Amino acid sequence: MTMITNHMPTAELQAIDAAHHMHPFTTNDELAEQGARVITRAKGVFLTDSEGNEILDGMAGLWCVNIGYGRTEMAEVAARQMAELPYYNTFFKTTHVPAIALSQEIARLAPEGMNNVFFAGSGSEANDTNIRMVRTYWAEKGKPSKSHIISRKNAYHGSSMGSGSLGGMDYMHAQGGMPIPGIHHIGQPDWWAEGGDMTPEEFGLARARELEAKIEELGEDNVAAFIAEPVQGAGGVIIPPETYWPEIQRICDKYEILLIADEVICGFGRTGNWFGSQTFGIRPHIMTIAKGLSSGYQPIGGSVVCDEVASVIGATEFNHGYTYSGHPVASAVALKNLQILQDENILDHVRNTAGPAFRAGLEGLADHPLVGGASVIGLMGSLPLTPHKESRAKFAGEAGAIGLMCRERCFANNLVMRHVGDRMVVSPPLVITPDEINIFMDRARKALDETWQKADKEGLLKAAS
Ligand SMILES: *Cc1c(COP(=O)(O)O)cnc(C)c1O
């Protein structure tokens, strides 16, 4: 076996990576030609790559490293737990202290009446659990016909067959036989891209009422649940108009539809509260959690389940679970993460310090000729790029080309921002300081300038007609 170390030349590491490692959501042949960037270590909000560049991670990895990188207490907890009990399952009438303690702490932080946790290894797995759980719930209640689940276009709920079907990404559905039967998608509350001449408030109501129309089309007796992210993350940080969630809540209540809030990104402080449901006044029956639950230090996810659903599920054998449900090391690490979030008042930092500074910075970038505006909540935000702000016009060329160009200019300036089409999205670690936010904004402005110059030179700043 070759020992691979951080001290190998970058090109050598890239060549081995290209030869053997199939990357997710990547055209691997193209990447093999370009060579992947090799990340070697990280501390706080900064990544270091194999060339020694210090990159500000404006995405907290994949929206998950809420407490920042390099927290040695997390490593100590993992080492202690591995030495004491590295693994045991929770299937056959057994349990262990990390799963006991973590489930209690999640229940304590979750909204009133949500006192039950079913553990999974990821957000995708948890959403697969949710599909089976809501269908089993209605079957046990004597209403097995209530099995259809309504989701939204451009939603992201994971990448397995079930969760990828719940998601509304057409390019994912195009491969591998998704969506599975019984999943339906209504329009998303993306006023910027789809609101036309409506006010955001009118548009929010119109999009929420698509849920009512879909329930009536399918028949109330056939619908089990509606699933949505409080704020769509991977879809482009789409913050719904104020009218949207109250209307969705009214409709779910009226038709007795279970409401699943996918909190995988919004949970654990991202919007300034423990859960996005609290920020938006949503009363879910089930919340999907992952990512920020452990700040990405260990893979773990789960479903937080209200007492009514848990009591119905609890009365029968639920033939479902994962080898790593409630994994002791992952649970111990997640618990430590929740403790750090509380001991260091990190939610308060998001609400009162970092959040306002981040908002001011992104709103400051909105005067850039390429930026159409800024939407921000807590520490997540988006900057739609446009050739014409007033009409919110799209670019005439290929969708996403300018966004990709901007992402690459960001990387060249040691900043990670992601692009979703021609919208830049950001979601930094929650511990980012005002000084680091200034560094972020300086690098972002430089990247935007370079994008504008490059796009202008290539004649790409024309608006679609
Ligand atoms: C990332 C994500 C998931 C999937 O989580 P994985 O851990 O990648 O399986 C599900 N829902 C939302 C909202 C996400 O952002």
Q: Which atom of ligand 1 is nearest to the CA of 160?
A: 9
CB distance 147 to 135 below 8 Å = yes
Residue 234, Cβ neighbours under 10 Å: how many? 22
What's the pLDDT at 356? 98
In this structure, CATH architecture of domain 73-343? 3-Layer(aba) Sandwich (3.40)
Is the pTM higher than 0.95?
Answer: yes
Q: Which atom of ligand 1 is nearest to the CA of 64?
A: 1
What's the pLDDT at 465? 78
Calculate how far, in angstroms, residue 227's C-alpha sits from the geometric centre of ligand 1: 13
Calculate how far, in angstroms, residue 259's C-alpha sits from the geometric centre of ligand 1: 17
Q: Whose CA is nearest to atom 11 of ligand 1?
A: 157
Calculate how far, in angstroms, residue 208's C-alpha sits from the geometric centre of ligand 1: 23
- Say how far apart CA 392 and CA 327 lie, in whole Å: 47
Calculate how far, in angstroms, residue 63's C-alpha sits from the geometric centre of ligand 1: 9
148, β-bridge pairs = 223
Q: How close are the terminal C-alpha atoms of the chain, in Å? A: 58
User: Radius of gyration of the chain from Cα atoms?
Assistant: 22
| Best of 64, 161, 264, 275 for a ligand 1 pocket test (most atoms within 8 Å of beta carbon) | 264
Q: What is the CATH number of domain 37-67+344-457?
A: 3.90.1150.10
Calculate how far, in angstroms, residue 441's C-alpha sits from the geometric centre of ligand 1: 27
What's the pLDDT at 60? 98
Per-residue pLDDT 10s for the chain (465 aa) are: 667 666 789 999 999 999 999 999 999 999 999 999 999 999 999 999 999 999 999 999 999 999 999 999 999 999 999 999 999 999 999 999 999 999 999 999 999 999 999 999 999 999 999 999 999 999 999 999 999 999 999 999 999 999 999 999 999 999 999 999 999 999 999 999 999 999 999 999 999 999 999 999 999 999 999 999 999 999 999 999 999 999 999 999 999 999 999 999 999 999 999 999 999 999 999 999 999 999 999 999 999 999 999 999 999 999 999 999 999 999 999 999 999 999 999 999 999 999 999 999 999 999 999 999 999 999 999 999 999 999 999 999 999 999 999 999 999 999 999 999 999 999 999 999 999 999 999 999 999 999 999 999 999 999 997
Each domain of the chain, given as residue ranges in start order, spans 37-67+344-457, 73-343
Calculate how far, in angstroms, residue 164's C-alpha sits from the geometric centre of ligand 1: 10
Residue 144 carries which side chain, given as an amino acid letter?
A: P
- Say how far apart CA 464 and CA 409 lie, in whole Å: 23
CB distance 186 to 218 below 8 Å = no
Pairing of strands 258-262, 423-426: unpaired
Calculate how far, in angstroms, residue 292's C-alpha sits from the geometric centre of ligand 1: 11
Go through the chain and tell me how many residues it has. 465
What's the pLDDT at 2? 67
HEC per residue, the chain:
CCCCCCCCCHHHHHHHHHHHCCCCCCCHHHHHHHCCCCEEEEEECEEEECCCCEEEECCHHHHCCCCCECCHHHHHHHHHHHHHCCCCCCCCCCCCHHHHHHHHHHHHHCCCCCCEEEEECCHHHHHHHHHHHHHHHHHHCCCCCCCEEEEECCCCCCCCHHHHHHCCCHHHHCCCCCCCCCEEEECCCCHHHHCCCCCHHHHHHHHHHHHHHHHHHHCHHHEEEEEECCCECCCCCECCCCCHHHHHHHHHHHHCCEEEEECCCCCCCCCCCCCHHHHHCCCCCEEEECHHHCCCCCCCEEEEECHHHHHHHHCCCCCCCCCCCCCHHHHHHHHHHHHHHHHCCHHHHHHHHHHHHHHHHHHHHCCCCCECCCEEECCEEEEEECCCCCCCCCECCCCCHHHHHHHHHHHHCCEECEEECCEEEECCCCCCCHHHHHHHHHHHHHHHHHHHHHHHHCCCCCECC
Q: Which atom of ligand 1 is nearest to the CA of 290?
A: 7
What's the pLDDT at 6? 66
Residue 230 carries which side chain, given as an amino acid letter?
A: P
Q: Which atom of ligand 1 is nearest to the CA of 229?
A: 13
CB distance 99 to 333 below 8 Å = no
Q: Which atom of ligand 1 is nearest to the CA of 266?
A: 13
Q: Which atom of ligand 1 is nearest to the CA of 121?
A: 7
Q: Cα 264 vs. chain centroid, distance in angstroms?
A: 5
Counting Cβ atoms within 10 Å, is residue 267 exposed (0-12), middle (13-18) or buried (19+)?
A: buried
The strands making up 375-377's β-sheet, listed across from edge to edge, are 375-377, 380-384, 423-426, 418-420
Calculate how far, in angstroms, residue 264's C-alpha sits from the geometric centre of ligand 1: 6
416 backbone dihedrals φ, ψ, rounded to 5°: -95, 115
Calculate how far, in angstroms, residue 156's C-alpha sits from the geometric centre of ligand 1: 7
Residues at CB less than 6 angstroms from ligand 1? 122-124, 127, 156-158, 229, 233-234, 262, 264-265, 290-291, 301
| Best of 125, 265, 297, 418 for a ligand 1 pocket test (most atoms within 8 Å of beta carbon) | 265
Calculate how far, in angstroms, residue 290's C-alpha sits from the geometric centre of ligand 1: 7
Counting Cβ atoms within 10 Å, is residue 370 exposed (0-12), middle (13-18) or buried (19+)?
A: buried
Q: Whose CA is nearest to atom 6 of ligand 1?
A: 123
